Amino acid sequence: MKSRFAILFAFDGTDYCGWQTQKGIGRHSNPKLSIEETLATAIYEVCAETVTVVASGRTDAGVHASGQVAHFELTSGRFSEKSLILGINQELPDTIQILALEQVPREFHAKEAIRKQYSYYFQQGPAQLPHLRTTALWDHYPLDGDLMQKSLSCLQGEHDFAGFSAAGAKVNSTVRSLHEVEITHHPISLPGEYDTSTHFLWRLRLVGSGFLKQMVRTIAGTVKQIGEGQRPAEDMAMILESRDRTLAGPTAPACGLWLERVWYPKQEGVDFLKQTE
């Protein structure tokens, strides 16, 4: 009988085409690797088994994660959890690393998440800090935190988020529930040493039962316009009510988006998930 393993892992998505392996050929092929195939290849190098790695959900090209969850199955029982995580991490590039790994009940399924947390980071300051150039979006215009928070309050709860979904996305329903929505201020002090009065981050944090394609990035693009004073805070509620994507702001670049946490029903007996409760 196969053994099922769950992993908690982080990645810098800058050089990847996203989670899912791309199957295009010729001029339609993608020269960038996917997170999925990179993990599967590393597991094969250690275990000599071809596996399917199932994640809690897909992430787009350029998006990062500090708390993505996935599972895979192995036929061989000769590997301990410690040897697996050490061996697989050694085969993985520095841009993807497993933070925790454990054998789990076969009932555990990574796709059965009940909540996820995404954050979008805006970097503020007189110039972009080089070490944050691929992990936060620099905006040289000052962002008004009070206006941004005011605009976001309407998004909490269950709503039809069609106005913030990518055009042409095929889903059964565009209704989703957001449990937490906030914008918070965070000084940039480490690594390095900077003037924290001028160099800081705005963090747009969303916790929800599920998210539509590019939903967080579209909300981020809209809240950025509101924070810059390009449009009133009331526009967020207007877009939500209209369900018209053309009224929302631009899709914010992928570099600022992070998948940070994933929750499961009763955490499914997975110890490393319980540690994040």
Question: Is residue 260 a contact partner of residue 67, using CB atoms and an 8 Å limit?
Answer: yes
Phi-psi region of 168 (alpha: psi -120 to 50; beta: other; left: phi over 0): left
- C-alpha–C-alpha distance, residues 213 and 97, integer Å: 25
Class of domain 115-259 as given by CATH: alpha beta
The answer to whether 60 is a known catalytic residue is yes
- Give the active site residue among 60, 195, 235, 244: 60
Question: For residues 57, 61, 64 and 65, what is the CA-based torsion angle, rounded to 10 degrees?
Answer: 20
pTM of the model: 0.94
Residue range 145-198, pLDDT digits in tens: 999 999 999 999 999 999 999 987 788 999 999 999 999 999 998 899 999 999
Q: In the numeric block, which tokens belong to residue 273?
A: 């998930």
The domain limits of the chain are 3-112, 115-259
Is 115-259 the same fold as 3-112?
A: yes
Q: In the numeric block, which tokens belong to residue 244?
A: 């018209």
Level-2 CATH architecture, domain 3-112:
2-Layer Sandwich (3.30)
In the block, which residue shows the tokens 């906030």? 182
Q: Is the pLDDT of residue 50 over 80?
A: yes
Higher pLDDT, 102 or 269: 102
Phi/psi for 102 (5° steps) reads -155, 155
Q: Give me the percent of the chain exceeding a pLDDT of 90.
A: 84
Q: Is the pLDDT of residue 202 over 60?
A: yes
Residue range 227-272, pLDDT digits in tens: 999 999 999 999 999 999 999 999 999 999 999 999 998 766 677 7
